[in-house]
Structure 1
Amino acid sequence: MQLLDRVRVICLALPEVTERPSHGSPTWFVRDKSVFVTLHADGHHHNDFPHLWCAAPPGAQAELTAADSARFFRPPYVGGRGWLGVRLDGAVDWTEIDELCRDAYREIAPKRLVTLLDAAPDEPA
């Protein structure tokens, strides 16, 4: 399965998520208005490798980039708001990507949708 297909399956499995391009890249929205994940399959700006940007819980960006700067980075534009950049070249841990996308969703979605997500059985992509 291609990179876009894998991320798409993960994100569209979440409640009330839609997909459309934003700034030329596939992007997933909660209720068609609030971005929580963007995929840059061909790279973006000076990051010429496949990666995604995702909303992250407070402190996660600093913790993950310090623990593994080869995989995680502070993305331009949204990094100042705590978003996380995740490299998708090399071996990708899809269970981890599923968890990161779910965490991103939890940061952006209204509480009612998070409750729906938490009530559903976990089915990693």
Structure 2
Amino acid sequence: MAEPLIPLDQVRALALDLPETEERVSHGQPTFFVAGKMFAQFRHDHHGDGRTIVAVKTADADEARMLIEAAPENYSRVAYFQAEWVGLAIGRDDTDWAHVGDRIARSWELAAPRRLLEAGGR
């Protein structure tokens, strides 16, 4: 039986599976970009907060607020990020990796250039 992937490996696999994605360290964190625009960032115990999250974009601040209010055990504000970003809790035994993959892909779609979306996106 294969060893389970650690959360960063899972996030990396989901993000790098998307077209024209690259990983770079930004502000000391593994961060994922499409066409130079950030769409996801992995954070583990950032400034001692005890959480493991992937930060992803939402359509706007209203969507972010709705997600946080509807599921505060899964979504949170992301320190130092604009209001349309949310932190999605990952790495727990009950992490729904299909849902995480969908949120990462949606964030990619929000950051990707039109040419990639018109070419069929993900």
TM class, shorter-chain normalised?
0.7 to 0.9
1:46 CA displacement: 5.1
Task: Identify which range, 51-60 or 8-17, moves more after superposition.
Answer: 51-60
Contact preservation (8 Å) 1:19, 1:27: yes
| TM-align CA RMSD | 1.5
Task: Give CA-to-partner distance per residue, 1:43-93, whole Å, 9 cap, x none.
Answer: 21253211111111123211111111111011111142x101111142210
Using the alignment, how far apart are the partners of 1:10 and 1:3 within structure 2? Answer: 11
Using the alignment, how far apart are the partners of 1:2 and 1:55 within structure 2? Answer: 22
Q: Percent identity?
A: 28
Name the counterpart of 1:61: 64
1:45-56 correspondence to structure 2 within 5 Å: 45=47, 47-56=49-58
Aligned pair in 2 of structure 1 residues 117, 74: CA closer, same or farther (>3 Å)? Answer: farther
Choose from 103, 106, 110 the match for 2:106: 103
Question: Between Structure 1 and Structure 2, how many residues are aligned?
Answer: 116
Contact preservation (8 Å) 1:15, 1:116: no
Using the alignment, how far apart are the partners of 1:10 and 1:117 within structure 2? Answer: 18
Structure 2 residue runs without a partner (length 5+): none
Using the alignment, how far apart are the partners of 1:117 and 1:8 within structure 2? Answer: 22
